[in-house]
Structure 1
Amino acid sequence: MKTVPMTEAGETVLNAPREPADLERPLPSPSAGEWGSDIAADMLRALDIPFVALNPGASFRGLHDSLVNHLGNEKPQMLLCLHEEHAIAIAHGWAKVTEQPMAAIVHSNVGLMHATMAVFNAWCDRVPMVIVGATGPVDAAKRRPWIDWIHTARDQGALLRPYTKWDDQPASVEAAVESFLRAHQMANSYPKGPTYICLDAGLQEMKLGERPAIPDPQRYRPGPPTVPSPEVIGQIAGHLLRAKRPIILAGRVSRKEKAWAERIRLAEALDAVVLTDLKAPAAFPTSHRLHGAPAGTFLNPDAAALLREADVVLSLDWIDLAGTLKAAWGQDTVSATVVHISGDQYVHNGWSMDHQGLPPADILALAEPDPTVSLVLPAVERSGARPASAWPARPAPTAPPVLTAHASDEPLSVPTLAAALAEAVDAEEVCLIRGPLSWAGKLWTIEHPLDYLGIDGGAGLGSGPGMAIGAALALKGTGRLPIAVFGDGDFMMGSSAIWTAVHYRIPVLIVVANNTSFFNDELHQERMARQRGRVVDNKWIGQRMADPDIDLGMVARAQGAVGIGPVTDLAELRESLAQAIAALKEGRTVVLDVRVLPGYDPGTTKAMAQVSSE
């Protein structure tokens, strides 16, 4: 174990290099029998859960003790968070990189209510995690006056049942063993998502007479990938081989390099245009000649024009296929043959509308996109009997903007920020964890499945810092620089997550594209004013974060991070980025406040206006 320098008071020296595993090492604790919560802790270890993010609470004091004194706070190790939303968001960021679940623990009904927005994000983003909660004691005779009563709910899982895959409240330690096995299996089964186990405080604190057997978790793994039948694979290949202008919509696909390479091979074999989505992680190289148009949060006009020209559309679990087709064809009938590869409807329900509209599909394969491509690819490559592509010659994909001399005389914008960031990282391998709504696909080159991780799923605010930290934790040891860019509203709602990153020495660079406004809502207020013939210049009221100005660098420094800014011109931005990246490489948590002009890319603005007018 690495030596951690200490002060005379026994406190850890903040700037000493260390890993999360070096921290919070408990003193050896003698065994004095086993308790119900020990079995829950053993299950987390048996399921190979590496970390468990939490904000402490009395409802799971038994499990907390078991993690510390029974397991020694390792495998899993606790990550202390200052808010339950951060705990869930950290697990979310971890899963976006690894595609495997972390665990998070939330306290009783009140902690669960804090966590629900972040759980909804994970649900909409289809990422796996195992959430452990607690209640009770269920036995009213064992409740402490007042506090245990207000922290006990008859059906706590009802708070998040519409946006989790499964929940349970086991009534015995034997049942808890099965609950953990099932929760982990279901979280990891496609379509992936969060699961929830509520542990009765009385069950946790019950002394065991006999230890229940813990089965081999390998016998409770998720099933093999779902794929279409050979007949359907043949039909899909046939449509693609006959197509003259095929398009591939590369949506929710995996981080696996093999699957990435197979998507490229399939596109090249078909001479198919490929479109990608900023809401989803990297799915196709943006510099490839077949990447049709820059990705957007909404379908931009160039992408819509390409899609309308297609005769076959292959959708690989595309987010909102119905809305995307409508953006291209409007009220007209979709003229292309649509092949939709997605099992997402397995988790659709009547509470949440995250399933989007119902798309037309000439072939609907309720299957996983990556293994389906693995089966379609050889059928396409073997044939070679496809018509010549009717796609007109297209220019090479547009390279991201570079800084020009006149940029130094202009106020900073998001494109300038993106160009300066690209210049600063140069040839480094970077994972862009996310970008703000003002980010455009043309601002960043993607060449690898870990180059970009998409957004948060639920389109709320406050998830950015926690997700950045979770992703950065998962990226440790990969050689990639973890960098996240998001807005000032997102940062301020989740800013206390920074403490967790500093405490556990999780290196990450958070760049705040700070326009001092909830600007998306300024646009909505402008639209309302224009529709109603009212004063447009009032749109800023109730939106601007000014008077007083918020010192974001000080917010970061107060928690032990490197805080830089506010940065207002290009020369200062270049210098600050160099400082920030040097600190990141030293293993520091860094927050860089960059003041940018409000506004969106013209293509994004046009797409948003189209959506708002419908």
Structure 2
Amino acid sequence: MRTVRESALDVLRTRGMTTVFGNPGSTELPFLKRFPDDFRYVLGLQEAVVVGMADGYALASGTTALVNLHTGPGTGNAMGAILNARANRTPMVVTAGQQVRAMLTMEALLANPQPAQLPQPAVKWAYEPPRPADVPPALARAVQLAETPPHGPVYLSLPMDDFGATVTEEEDQAAQATAARRVEHATAPLPETVRALAGRVERARSAVLVVGDDVDASGAWESVVRLAERAGLPVWSAPASARVSFPHGHPLYRGELPPAIGPLSRALDGHDLVVVVGAQVFRYYPYVPGRYLPEGAELVLVTRDPEEAAKAPVGDAVVADPAATVQALAAHFPDREPYPATDRSVCAPQTVDGALPPGTALAAVAEGAPAETLWVNESPSNVPQFHEAARISTPGSYLFSAGGGLGFGAAAAVGAQLGAPHRPVVAVLGDGSVHYAVQALWTAAAYHVPVTFVVLSNARYAILQWFAQLEHAQGAPGLDIPGLDIAAIATGYGVRSFRAEGAGELTKLVRDATGQHEGPVLIDVPVTTELPSL
């Protein structure tokens, strides 16, 4: 008879999940022993980094990521990153070792006493199999749940002595059959629903389209462009978008909506119908009260997430596949000539006291990066300047954390490069953000992952200084972070590091870094501080 470990590894092979992101502890060693040659283990030095790398890997590769954590303490360390993965709608199976079953009742050292409760509510499902033989089918079910829209992380607690137990031939075959199942998720809208929505767009005096992360994630990009062009709809990105879902160089594109109730409503003033595709209605923060919509305006949400439809504070909703719905909706409008791309050049100010303005720095980075770059952004105070400089106009080219917690960027960039090795990956990070996942630099160096890290250094949490103004909380401590030397730290982790003090030098460093495949490069860029505005 075969062991639980052998059966579980075959389940993972069947699902194509042979890359494991982990930080091992004693309770994980029975699973990892005699590690198979056809599997790849990617080591992170801290569990939040491990999950962040898996997050970026899954989003860049379009596959489900596999994570291996160390029982309760490892899960606790990873919780912020798991919350980000939940917000990012990332398909991910998180496994954690557990103490041997014989010592669970007494809660021996390293026992996780409430394994199904600890990761809640960050995961879609949390489970500890009741018998060793249930481990392989539990893995198979976990993958199915992670890949069911809305995608998200699931969690399995696996007692360490289960892997040496045996399964019968019938149990093994049943687990493999479960793993081999393929489930298609494509909920088509009713034809009458599409006709009714098309009629509302046609009758509207001034309709507008708002696109969110799920447009890019669900493959609805081209259909959304076709709908906008055929119906002549201006297009906004939903506030705090974690992906780019409409070409930013398109003449119909208007920018990203502000993430507060009153300002967002004012940005949509003049429109009487708001069609939202693949976005929450809406991702608000900070709280600035006002009307949810301009007076007299109506809203229709198209989403594949019934919970998203239920929690929207305003408007009607159609729960269906965004790509199928938008494609059907676009067919109700006559074809038009494609819109030509616009060319809006960025005016770059000069260096100020040895530091570049953020817009200047980001324009220099964008000039040096190849057209096929996959961008990862975690410089929250400079998001508008980033989008103005990068002008992303191809799907699957931008990752940002939808969860709002720092620590995603550096780790996700490493995972994204592993998941899409044919594309150059450039991570734009704040000097505050990078230190939430600084251990990711070691993984990049150890595995020769050719990520280009660009750190915008202004020695402060600028986004918090902005919030302090909005919330009348000036004088709060802990918003300045002097004395950091990220180039020296990166060098200590084995990453080649440079400091750029001019735009031309920065462009050259980015061009050189993205043109090589020898390993990671970090470029430290002193920048001035420009606080956002609503």
TM-score (norm 2): 0.89
What is the letter of the counterpart of residue 110 of structure 1? Answer: P
Q: 1:510 aligns to what?
A: 453
How far the C-alpha of 1:452 sits from its partner, in A, is 1.8
Q: How much does 1:328 deviate?
A: 10
| Aligned equivalents of 1:185, 1:597: Cα separation in 2 | 47
Shift of 1:153: 2.2
Which deviations, in whole Å up to 9, do the C-alpha atoms of 1:87-110 show, x marking residues without a partner?
111111012223321100101111
Q: Does 1:581 align with 2:526?
A: no
Match of 1:106 among 61, 69, 90: 69
Corresponding residue SS for 2:172: coil
State the partner residue of 1:447.
393
Q: Residues 44, 254 of structure 1: CA spacing in aligned structure 2 closer, same or farther, 3 A cutoff?
A: farther
Distance (whole Å) between structure 2 residues aligned to residue 342 and residue 82 of structure 1: 37
Gaps (5+ residues) in structure 1? 1-32, 349-354, 385-393, 608-614
Indicate the SS of the match to 1:433.
strand
Note the C-alpha offset of 1:466: 0.8
Q: Which residue of 2 aligns with 1:495?
A: 438
Partner of 1:543: 479
State how far apart, in whole Å, the 2-side matches of 1:509 and 1:102 are: 23
- 2:138 is aligned, of 179, 183, 186, to 179
Map 1:128-167 to 2 at 5 A. Answer: 128-140=91-103, 149-167=108-126
Q: 1:377 to 1:158 in 2, by over 3 A?
A: same
The match for 2:355 among 411, 414, 426 is 411
What is residue 280 of structure 1 aligned with on the other side?
A: 242
- Return the alpha-carbon distance in structure 2 between the equivalents of residues 332 and 587 of structure 1: 51
Give the % identical residues.
23
- For the pair 1:464 / 2:409, whether they are aligned, the reply is yes
In the aligned structure 2, how far is the partner of 1:305 from the partner of 1:400? Answer: 27
CA distance in 2, matches of 1:125, 1:203: 32
- Are 2:18 and 1:58 aligned? no
Provide closer, same or farther for how the CA distance between residues 309 and 79 of structure 1 changes in structure 2, counting only shifts above 3 A: same
- Matching residue of 1:612: none
* Counterpart position of 1:374: 327
Return the letter of the residue paired with 1:288: H
Tell me whether 1:590 sits opposite 2:521 in the alignment. yes
**C-alpha contact 2:431 2:456 (8 A) present in aligned 1:** yes
Deviation, structure 1 residue 523: 3.3
Residue of structure 2 equivalent to 1:24: none
**Within 1, Cα distance between the matches of 2:167 and 2:291?**
64
Instruction: Name the structure 2 match of 1:399.
Output: 344
Tell me, yes or no, if the aligned pair for 1:97 and 1:255 is still in contact at 8 Å: no
Query: Is residue 497 of structure 2 the alignment partner of residue 563 of structure 1?
Result: yes
C-alpha distance in 2, partners of 1:570/1:488?
18
SS in 2 for 1:434: strand
- Partner in structure 2 of residue 388 of structure 1: none
Say whether 1:485 aligns with 2:421. no
User: Does 2:86 correspond to 1:123?
Assistant: yes
- Shift of residue 321 of structure 1? 2.5
Question: In the alignment, residue 492 of structure 1 is paired with which amino acid?
Answer: H
Q: Distance in 1 between matches of 2:507 and 2:406?
A: 28
Q: Which amino acid aligns with 1:287?
A: G
Change beyond 3 A, Cα 1:97–1:63: same
Report the CA distance between 1:339 and its aligned residue: 1.1
Q: Which amino acid in 2 is paired with 1:280?
A: A
Contact conserved, 2:2 with 2:166, CA < 8 A, in 1? yes
Tell which deviates more after alignment, 113-122 or 176-185.
176-185
Judge conservation of contact 1:399–1:445 (CA < 8 Å) in 2.
Answer: no
Quote the RMSD (CA, aligned, Å): 3.1
- CA distance change for structure 1 residues 83 and 296 in 2, over 3 Å: closer, same or farther? farther
1:212 aligned onto 2:212: no
CA contact (8 A) 1:49 1:101 kept: yes
Q: Which structure 2 residues correspond to residues 282-431 of structure 1 after superposition, within 5 A?
A: 282-292=244-254, 294-295=255-256, 298=259, 305-321=266-282, 323=284, 330=291, 334-346=295-307, 358-361=312-315, 363-381=316-334, 399-403=344-348, 406-407=350-351, 411-425=355-369, 428-431=371-374
TM-score calculated relative to the size of structure 1: 0.78
Shift of 1:260: 1.9
CA distance in 2, matches of 1:260, 1:517: 36
Larger radius of gyration: 1
What's the counterpart of residue 9 of structure 2?
A: 41
Report deviation, 1:193: 0.4
Query: SS of 1:149's equivalent?
Result: coil
1: CA distance between counterparts of 2:308 and 2:209? Answer: 24
SS of 2:332's equivalent in the other structure is helix
Question: Does structure 2 conserve the Cα–Cα contact (< 8 Å) formed by 1:245 and 1:310?
Answer: yes
Three-state SS of the structure 1 residue aligned to 2:121 is helix
How many angstroms does 1:448 deviate by? 0.3
Deviations 1:496-555 (Å, cap 9, x if unpaired)? 111112222221111111111122223344556x57xxxx5x55x422222xx2221121
Query: CA 1:569–1:443 in 2, change beyond 3 Å: closer, same or farther?
Result: same
Asked if the contact 1:465/1:497 (under 8 Å) is kept, the reply is yes
Q: Deviation at 1:414?
A: 1.2
**Superposed displacement of residue 311, structure 1:** 1.8
Matched residue SS, 1:94: helix
Measured in 1, the distance between the counterparts of 2:305 and 2:218 equals 23
Cα displacement (A) at 1:247: 0.9
Which of 167, 186, 191 is residue 230 of structure 1 equivalent to? Answer: 191
Judge conservation of contact 2:5–2:164 (CA < 8 Å) in 1: yes
Query: What SS is found at the alignment partner of 1:212?
Result: helix
Matched, 1:261 2:222: yes
Change (3 A) 1:137 1:279: same
The one-character-per-residue Cα deviations of 1:230-288 (angstroms, maximum 9, x if unpaired) are: 22122112212222311111102254796322111100111001111452211111111
Partner Cα distance (1:473, 1:254) in 2: 23
* Matched residue count: 525
CA–CA separation in structure 2 for the residues paired with 1:347 and 1:305: 23
Q: Aligned to 2:524, what secondary structure does the other structure show? A: strand
Measure the CA separation in 1 of the matches of 2:96 and 2:27. 8
What SS does structure 1 have at the residue aligned with 2:377?
A: coil
